[in-house]
A and B are shown apart, each in its own frame.
Chain A
Amino acid sequence: MSPRRSDAGGRIDRLRTIRFIFDGAPYTGHAGDTLASALLANGVSLFGRSFKYHRPRGVLSAGVEEPNALVTVLRGEVREPNIAATMIEIYDGLTAVSQNRFPSLSWDVGAVNQLGGKVLSAGFYYKTFMGPVFGPLKGTRFWMFCEHFIRRAAGLGRAGTAPDTARYERMNAFCDVLVVGSGPAGLIAAKAATDQGARVILAELEPHFGGSANWSGEVIDDMPAADWAARTAGQLEGHDNVRLLPRTTVWGYYDGNTLAALERVTDHKETPGKGEPRHRYWTIRAKTVVLATGSFERPLVFPGNDRPGVMLAHAAERYANEYGVLPGDRIALFTNNDSAYRAALALKKAGAAIVAVVDVRPELSSEMRELAGEAEAEILSGHAVVATEGGKALSGFKVQRFDMESGALSGDARSIHADCLLMSGGWSPTIHLASQAGARAEWNEALQAFLPPKPTQKWIGAGAFNGHFKTLEAILDGRNAGLSAVGATGTPMAYPSIESLPGDPRPAPVFEIKAAGKSFVDFQHDVTAEDVRLAHREGFISVEHLKRYTTLGMATDQGKNSNIPGLAIMAEALGKPIPEVGTTRFRPPYSAVSIGSLAAERFGDIKPERLTPMHDWHIANGATMYAAGLWYRPMIYGLSGETIEQAYVREAKATRESAGIVDVSTLGKIAMQGPDAAEFLDRVYTNMFSTLAVGKARYGLMLREDGLAFDDGTTWRLGEQDFLMTTTTANAGKVMQHLEYYLDVIWPELKVHVTSVTDEWAGAAIGGPKARAILAACVTGTAVDNATLPFMGIVRGKIAGVPVMICRLSFSGEMAFEVYCGAGYGTHVWEALVEAGKPFGLVTYGLEALGTMRIEKGHVTGAEIDGRTTARDLHLDWMLSRKKPFIGSAMMDREGLIAPDRLELVGLIALDNRPLNGGAHVVEVLDEANPHDSIGHITACCYSPALGKHIALALIKGGKARHGSRAFVSDPLRNRFGPIEIVSNHFYDPDGSRMHG
């Protein structure tokens, strides 16, 4: 047993020894220990180096508010920085390292910064590294030059580079009552609501339920408070209508009583259980929330208050009572309120010598004098600590007479020898969640604290959260909250019997002792009382400006320790009362949230995907798949040894020479039926559809209301009142929504029904000079000759016994057909087509060849219909009907949309016979060192097997007028410059003779 560990008491299991490593050295602790308690038990006082000055720092607290003892936890290659040692449950093999020190924690080069303390004040970096006004390092360049070194010297832990292999999970939950915090108030609230039959969730950020009951040393209903808490939690566990969530931090309170919580499922385990995620992100919708989040003890601000060995009073009490660990042998306390006396007594009982209680108040109650006497401590009332001594551990401190009213110090300083100094500056209710929910905190003069005001959402406060610091008040509060949360009225109950020590919750209004030396307000960011005053002198007096200028309360602290002392010091500098200075609004998250939990199933192998009916066939036949949104489509069907370019060139060439087949099942398909379907199509498409004959298809273009191009596709008239619309793959969802909007909101009188049938049909496009012969070889029940199936004609027949619908239309520019069948028969029909095509040299082709052939033909896709182009820009003005209004018709002729200098679709040919790049700019004058005056950009490019050249589609100012002229491609990012010729976008077979056959 280590010297700092008591022989009995606490919640740890002394029979179970756990081995862990901190900064490379092996240590042991016990089951139930946190990393902080185990290291303290081993006599470790130095936990880290401070952010800016690299001062040695110990552990300040015992909980989530810890600002100093932040460590990096290593799991294999994965490192997670900035975890509070007070929140890490130790397990066998835990490996953690301290942060912000070089080369080691006890011998740190950066500590030299302490010597420059006067210089490194608030705003130091902004003021110092502004840089010269001329020369190579002028302005921000100088800052960027220095920043590298500054970033290395300052800061918290270093993030890792190895990918996080852990799994994360998301959960949605609904309940009548969510209870946040499981101290006596929360436990009783949960129990009261559960007993009423309500669905209850109880979330506790620590591993065990009970909160302060676990270490208060009080007696509730004739049993130790910790046992009472365990019994109450055990009673809850037996109910079906309650869900207990330990290790779960409720970190965000959003609209409509939606709360976000993070459950740390396996962080405390050596190896996670099968299927267990590391963290679980909970979205909880609660009809009512009970906020029983307790309170934080505030540090006092005095010189040297950051030295290792200076700790919050309740934290030491907790280490002694809950973990059986004494943070020192000779302990002194420094307080402005009664709560520290209970801590003194607890530590005395645990075996420490209490050398002194320094109290800023001149008068003490007789009860407090009695408690101090029982702890055998010297009472120094009307005194204050003015300095601390020691290096990496406390060796003593100095006190002086202190006048509470004026803040003046007098008399000689007296030295007191101690290895641990506990401080208590009063208590602040943890109102973060209420503040997030929109409530503005209200200052309570008696308690010297901000209290939650009237709720802005459906929450009820209980216990210390309400400023009710006594356990009896907490239990009564909790019961009332639990009952009123479910709309029940309480029956009279017997008051619980509680044995606790006396104490007045009202602290003296003392926050800072002004004496020589650095007095820290924000330990994590090294913000001193002097920094706050400097901010005041420089005009940053609003609390929000103060926060940003000094970084007070930023990072993981989020004002948990520093908020009230910082405000009090600013208020004094301004000569205003604290409530007039106000407080910053707390924002989510309450404490650090893992990025992995936010991404959860949106990342990795649980991400949804859409597969076409022929997907497995493509994979089995050598396709390289390409992710297009959620869809997967074949990119190429590569032969062994082929590059991507060789493969698509082969596929495109074979299609133009004989025939090719491509999976087009991903195209959006919308069934449109009803007596007004044709009228509706006339309104949404720019061209006429009411004149389309049954059994024919037509290419259509849609605009947005503002007159810009939206989407294109073919629509097939299957019957008088029955149409099948196809859309581009990417816009399928948007077009559906667009149609529904007009039918539901704008033209509800139209009798049309639209249904998305994208997933109901499998589609294959087969094109090339032999395409018709291949169909003829496998289609039964209809002829496919030119008379039966003319261009844009539709026939129904069968392939391999399965009904199919065939439309003769072409994207590749060849004689081509789209064959649709029920999705369930997709592979069956596809295989029959491939089989029928074998004698004709049919190839399967992917997106690359598809794109190549469409570029050769000059067809537009989403790269050209980019939300900025009009129908005219794309030379589709022939599709703009003048006989009827349609969506976008009123706006499409606006001045800016018909200007002659608009970017228009053209073709480009690389004159240097090298590949072009999508996104590259086109210029008239080539200036590689200083590219300027772009006349447009490339939207799509490929090597054209039909032309034997590198070609591209581009949007170029002036468009058609430039056909035949020369320009340059200018792509400095990829260092691609060179001459090009601007030509028509119709590179190949411009009169369409091949497709009309």
Chain B
Amino acid sequence: MLITCPYCGPRDVIEFSYQGDGNRARPQPASQNLDAWNAYVYDRLNPAGDHNEIWQHSGGCRAHLRVVRNTLTHEISSTTFARGDHKSAARHKAEGKS
């Protein structure tokens, strides 16, 4: 499998480490909603098809990537930097203001 790192170009999967399901949404740090925490830590979709994943280019630039991979064919349809589009960035800013 090749993952195309936006910095480094197409690289072998051996250079990357899987960092988990990209669909997880971390609750607010102070949240006491155990169901939400439970979902974040344990609930996984396990789809047969496109899957939103986080991979770190640990043997390269060490950036975290958001990768959409088809679990049936291993085809990768999109690779972007994880830090660019994460919801919690906006959420934390909003939280800071409130």
Contacts and interface: CB of A to CB of B under 8 A. Distances in A.
A737 B58 contact: yes
B40 A705 contact: yes
Interface stretch (A337-345, A558-566, A740-748, A913-921): A740-748
A77 interface: no
A749 B93 contact: yes
A737 B88 contact: no
A891 B1 contact: no
Contacts of B83: 744-745, 748
Best-buried of A706, A740, A746 by chain B (most CB within 10 Å): A746
B88 A746 contact: yes
Contacts of B51: none
Interface string A32-58: 000000000000000000000000000
B74 interface: yes
B87 to A, nearest CB: 10
A255 interface: yes
B34 A890 contact: yes
Contact of B86 (A438, A705, A748, A891): A748
B37 A740 contact: no
> From DSSP, what is the main secondary structure of chain B's interface residues?
mixed
A822 interface: no
A745 B54 contact: yes
A438 B70 CA distance: 15
A706 B30 contact: no
Interface string B52-70: 0010101000111000000
Contacts of A890: 27, 31-32, 34, 37
Contact of A256 (B1, B30, B92): B1
Interface in B10-55: 12, 17, 19, 26-27, 29-32, 34, 37, 40-41, 54
Interface string A728-741: 00000000010011
A747 B2 CA distance: 28
A210 to B, nearest CB: 33
Interface size class of A (residues with CB under 8 A): 20 to 34
Nearest to A457: B73
Nearest to B54: A745
A383 interface: no
A885 B89 contact: no
A151 interface: no
Contact of B62 (A256, A740, A747): A740
A255 B83 CA distance: 28
B59 to A, nearest CB: 12
Best-buried of B63, B64, B74 by chain A (most CB within 10 Å): B64
Nearest to B92: A749
A438 B30 CA distance: 48
A746 to B, nearest CB: 6
B41 A891 contact: yes
A438 B27 CA distance: 41
Contacts of A737: 17, 19, 56, 58
Given A683-B29, A890-B27, A744 B64 contact: yes
Best-buried of A683, A706, A749 by chain B (most CB within 10 Å): A749
B64 A255 contact: no
B74 A741 contact: no
B41 A706 contact: yes
A512 to B, nearest CB: 38
A890 B54 CA distance: 23
A746 B87 CA distance: 9
A607 interface: no
A116 B92 CA distance: 78
B79 to A, nearest CB: 14
Contacts of B1: 255-256, 258
B5 to A, nearest CB: 13
Contact of B92 (A741, A747, A885, A891): A747
A555 B86 CA distance: 50
A706 B26 CA distance: 12
Interface in A881-900: 885-886, 890-891, 894
A891 B26 CA distance: 12
Interface residues of B, number: 30
Given A746-B88, A749-B92, A749-B93, A891 B58 contact: no
B19 A745 contact: yes
Nearest to A740: B62
Contacts of B54: 741, 745
B58 A705 contact: no
Contact of A748 (B30, B40, B89): B89
Nearest to A885: B29
A891 B2 CA distance: 36
Contacts of A256: 1-2, 74
Contacts of B30: 885
Contact of B64 (A258, A683, A740): A740
Contacts of B17: 737
Interface in A695-711: 705-706
Interface string A55-78: 000000000000000000000000
A705 to B, nearest CB: 5
Nearest to B64: A744
A870 to B, nearest CB: 15
A741 B56 contact: yes
Given A255-B1, A256-B1, A745 B92 contact: no
Contacts of A255: 1, 74
A47 B31 CA distance: 75
Contacts of A747: 88-89, 92
B48 to A, nearest CB: 15
B86 A746 contact: yes
A591 to B, nearest CB: 24
Contacts of B88: 746-748
A740 B56 contact: yes
A255 B2 CA distance: 9
A705 B1 CA distance: 29
Contacts of B93: 749
Contacts of B34: 890-891, 894
A258 B82 CA distance: 27
Contacts of B82: 744-745
Nearest to A172: B12
Contacts of A705: 40-41
A885 B33 CA distance: 13
Contacts of A741: 19, 54, 56, 64
B51 to A, nearest CB: 15
Contacts of B58: 737
Interface in B79-98: 82-83, 86, 88-89, 92-93
Nearest to A742: B26
Contacts of B2: 256, 285
A741 B88 CA distance: 13
B70 to A, nearest CB: 11
Nearest to B17: A737
B47 to A, nearest CB: 18
Best-buried of A255, A741, A747, A748 by chain B (most CB within 10 Å): A748
A481 B62 CA distance: 40
A749 B74 CA distance: 32
A208 B62 CA distance: 45
A438 B75 CA distance: 13
Contacts of A285: 2, 12
Interface in A746-761: 746-749
6 contacts: A741-B64, A745-B19, A745-B64, A745-B82, A747-B89, A748-B86
Given A737-B17, A746-B88, 13 more contacts: A255-B1, A256-B74, A706-B41, A737-B56, A740-B56, A744-B63, A744-B64, A744-B83, A746-B26, A749-B89, A885-B30, A890-B27, A891-B41
Minimum-distance CB pairs A-B, first 3: A748-B83, A885-B29, A744-B64
Interface of B: 1-2, 12, 17, 19, 26-27, 29-32, 34, 37, 40-41, 54, 56, 58, 62-64, 73-74, 82-83, 86, 88-89, 92-93
Interface of A: 255-256, 258, 285, 438, 683, 705-706, 737, 740-741, 744-749, 885-886, 890-891, 894
